[in-house]
Amino acid sequence: MAHGHMIPTVEMAKLFASRGVKTTFITFPGLAEPIQKARDSGTDIGLSIIKFPPEGSGLPDHIVSTDQVTEDLVPNFVKALYLIQESVEKLIQELSPTCLVADMFFPWTVDAAAKFGIPRLVFHGTSYLSLCASDKMKRHEPFKNVSSDSEPFVLPDLPHQLEFVRTQVADFDLMENENDFSRLIQKTRESDWRSYGVVVNSFYELEPDYADHYRKVLGRKAWNIGPLWLCNDGDEAKAERGKKSSIDAHECLAWLDSKKPNSVVYVCFGSMSDFSPFQLHEIAGGLEAAGHDFVWVIRKSKNEDEHKEWLPQGFADRTDNRGLIIQGWAPQVMILDHPAIGAFVTHCGWNSTLEGVCAGVPMVTWPLFAEQFFNEKLVTGVLRIGAPVGNKKFQRVGSEGVPGEALAKAVQLVMAGESASEMRSRAKYYKEMARKAVEEGGSSYNDLSALLEDLRSFSPPRNQHDIN
């Protein structure tokens, strides 16, 4: 129920349907539009809408996705995620499916599937590397062996030396304050282990060491079926992913058409990020100092005027022809695919990271929260297609702590010079690989065939204990 999960889940449903699988998408009022659009354009997908917020959750009626949830409503939102179990079970009874694919944030679906003797596949919407790293973080708690927040530690038993500091560790892993969200995460982990398998929005050639580690060392049954977004055909689907764009896509492309190849920096921090006004001021200063043209997407604030106050004085005039600010929602994949884009400043949400890979664009990494610090390591340390701004602080609300100069320096590193051209050519290689993976005979295509074959031959366990 967050855009970062909904967007790839919709695409997964389309992918299943494109392979002749009878697919029904279960969702909530206000979130059904992308599936409705796919149905209108002829994709054969069933659609079942269940009431949300459910009775008894205490959530205001307009809330349907996490970006609308303020801190005080988190307990109600978590409660609501559990309260829909009965409605979903009724649907399973009616539809009698072979398999239930569920987002990680519905941990009870593992019990619902077991009740009906069908496998539950879980979708986390992240990379293999982050699935492996998060397992090690939880299992070994290496952050407990350092004496200060700034002393680095390495996650044990992984294919690469992935180094972190304690302030980059998720609050639910530190477990300093147990709360509704950390308890939900705990439940998702337990239900993961009881699931039949995992579907991963990634492709083997991107992270072979971690795909192998996840399956062979951690012993998980997993299928990589991505990049899911490549299953979208046509400009309309690309322009309208997730939400309605705040800018006309053609206007945006016309602006980019006027720029030289690889000359523009695209800056966007996903659907949930929240910077302090001070940090936004620093970003503006950093972009100006880096000296390259830019497209900067800023999430709409509750108080729209707030955004005008923090811009450095004279910024708008000085960057008039150089910068395009989009306040709200951008047609991200269309922008990334434009030849003018030379670098992507990203928070390393997995969809954005994969979209950067698919576009063959080097990245400046600025992780903020969730598993983004893990994805950063994949981009900078393993694939070597990006440079970090050096954020050390896990923070979702009011993020700050990165000076504008750090942004300017990282942008310069990925935009110009020898290391930039090396990163660019590696990025182009992964772009090619991504497309090959989803073509007939490619690694993701074949993994999806293997998954479908596996499901065809699935026989239900004799009793519940076989699944548990």
195 binds ligand UDP (CB under 6 A): no
444 binds ligand UDP (CB under 6 A): no
The one segment of 37-45, 247-255, 326-334, 452-460 that binds ligand UDP by CB under 6 A: 326-334
Q: Rank residues 200 and 297 by Cβ distance to ligand UDP and give the closer one.
A: 297
Residue 37 near residue 27, CB atoms below 8 Å: no
3 binds ligand UDP (CB under 6 A): yes
CB of 183 to ligand UDP, least distance (A): 21
CB of 287 to ligand UDP, least distance (A): 17
Residues 384-423 that bind ligand UDP (CB under 6 A): none
Residues 80-109 that bind ligand UDP (CB under 6 A): none
Catalytic residue of the set 3, 5, 124, 347: 5
Q: Rank residues 271 and 391 by Cβ distance to ligand UDP and give the closer one.
A: 271
Residue 404 near residue 392, CB atoms below 8 Å: no
Which residues have CB under 8 Å from 66's CB, separation 6+? 1, 2, 77, 272
Q: Rank residues 109 and 126 by Cβ distance to ligand UDP and give the closer one.
A: 126
Quick one: CA torsion of 151, 364, 66, 182, rounded to 10 degrees?
-20
Residue 197 near residue 113, CB atoms below 8 Å: no
4 binds ligand UDP (CB under 6 A): yes
Q: Rank residues 213 and 241 by Cβ distance to ligand UDP and give the closer one.
A: 241
The residue whose Cβ lies closest to ligand UDP is 4
333 binds ligand UDP (CB under 6 A): yes
Among 352, 380, 391, 399, binds ligand UDP (CB under 6 A): 352
Cα→Cα distances 135→1, 142, 213, 362, 379, Å: 23, 12, 11, 28, 19
Alpha carbons 311 and 324: distance in angstroms, whole number? 14
Size of the site for ligand UDP (CB under 6 A): 20
The one segment of 143-151, 301-309, 350-358, 376-384 that binds ligand UDP by CB under 6 A: 350-358
CB of 423 to ligand UDP, least distance (A): 20
357 binds ligand UDP (CB under 6 A): no
3-state SS of the chain? CCHHHHHHHHHHHHHHHHCCCCEEEEECCCCCHHHHHHHHCCCCEEEEECCCCCCCCCCCCCCCCHHHCCHHHHHHHHHHHHHCHHHHHHHHHHHCCCCEEEECCCCCHHHHHHHCCCCEEEECCCCHHHHHHHHHHHHHCHHHHCCCCCCCEECCCCCCCCEECHHHCCHHHHCCCCCHHHHHHHHHHHHHHCCCEEEECCCHHHCHHHHHHHHHHCCCCEEECCCHHHHCCCHHHHHCCCCCCCCCHHHHHHHHHCCCCCCEEEEECCCCCCECHHHHHHHHHHHHHHCCEEEEEECCCCCCCHHHHHCCCCHHHHCCCCEEEEECCCCHHHHHCCCCEEEEEECCCHHHHHHHHHHCCCEEECCCCCCHHHHHHHHHHHCCCEEECCCCCCCCCCECCCCHHHHHHHHHHHHCCHHHHHHHHHHHHHHHHHHHHHCCCCHHHHHHHHHHHHHHCCCCCCCHHHHC
Report the amino acid identity of residue 432. Answer: E
Tokens of 385: 């297609």
The one segment of 173-181, 187-195, 351-359, 457-465 that binds ligand UDP by CB under 6 A: 351-359
The one segment of 135-143, 207-215, 270-278, 406-414 that binds ligand UDP by CB under 6 A: 270-278
Among 127, 130, 262, 351, binds ligand UDP (CB under 6 A): 351
Among 65, 224, 332, 444, binds ligand UDP (CB under 6 A): 332
Among 271, 319, 365, 395, binds ligand UDP (CB under 6 A): 271
**Contact mark string toward ligand UDP, 290..309, x via CB under 6 A:** -------x------------
The one segment of 181-189, 250-258, 325-333, 441-449 that binds ligand UDP by CB under 6 A: 325-333
7 binds ligand UDP (CB under 6 A): yes
Residue 293 bears catalytic tag: no
The one segment of 142-150, 177-185, 267-275, 436-444 that binds ligand UDP by CB under 6 A: 267-275
Q: Rank residues 137 and 268 by Cβ distance to ligand UDP and give the closer one.
A: 268
The one segment of 84-92, 201-209, 345-353, 449-457 that binds ligand UDP by CB under 6 A: 345-353
Among 107, 119, 227, 270, binds ligand UDP (CB under 6 A): 270
Catalytic residue of the set 40, 62, 72, 103: 103
Residue 5 bears catalytic tag: yes
CB of 418 to ligand UDP, least distance (A): 29
Residues in contact with ligand UDP by CB under 6 A are 2-4, 7, 241-242, 268, 270-272, 297, 329-330, 332-333, 349-352, 355
Catalytic residue ranges: 5, 103
